[in-house]
Amino acid sequence: MGLRLRILRIMTPIERFWLDLIDGRKHHIQQLYGSDAMQRYRPHPMEREYFVNNSGHLCNHPEVMNYNRRFYDYCEEHYQEQKQRYLQQIEANKRKYEASSSYKALQREREELVSYIRGITVRDAQREETNTQATKNEAR
């Protein structure tokens, strides 16, 4: 049995979830900035402890936030070429999909869905406005 598998067996579910979360972050970093940036990424130790000890809540301590911000600022400065390649690939994929027959066939359905969602948003906004006015009247 491999060492990683033995370690995973003695970890709590929240510790395993932490590893999955970090793997997801690393995947995102690799996609956007490349493998070199992904290999540079290390989460702040305080962040892991907070996550594990607080039922999976992410830490927003200023030290952790600054640490992460500095990492992403570094990536923005040093890995722009990789980021631009990634964004160009996303745009190319979008154009390719928009030109496909399946995209065109579902256009009407998407428009109906957007209309439906807008209707819900407007209705809920009107309700909120009504509730706010009622609350103000009750307070008087």
Q: Is the pLDDT of residue 129 over 90?
A: no
Tell me how many helices (H) and strands (E) the chain has: 8, 0
In degrees, rounded to 5, the angle at the alpha carbon of residue 49 between the alpha carbons of residues 43 and 52 is 110
Question: Which has the closest alpha carbon to 58: 70, 46, 41, 72?
Answer: 46
pLDDT, position 18 = 94
* Alpha carbon distance 64, 18 (integer Å): 16
pLDDT digits (tens, 9 = 90+) for 67-107: 999 999 999 999 999 999 999 999 999 999 999 999 989 99
Q: Is 17 helix (H, G, I), strand (E, B) or coil?
A: helix
Mean of pLDDT values over 32-44:
97
pTM given for the model: 0.68
* Alpha carbon distance 105, 113 (integer Å): 14
For residue 2, name the pLDDT band (cuts at 50, 70, 90): low
Looking up tokens 């500095």 gives 70
Percent residues over pLDDT 90 in the chain: 67
Q: Is the pLDDT of residue 130 over 90?
A: no
Q: Are 43 and 25 in contact (CB under 8 A)?
A: yes
For residue 11, name the pLDDT band (cuts at 50, 70, 90): confident
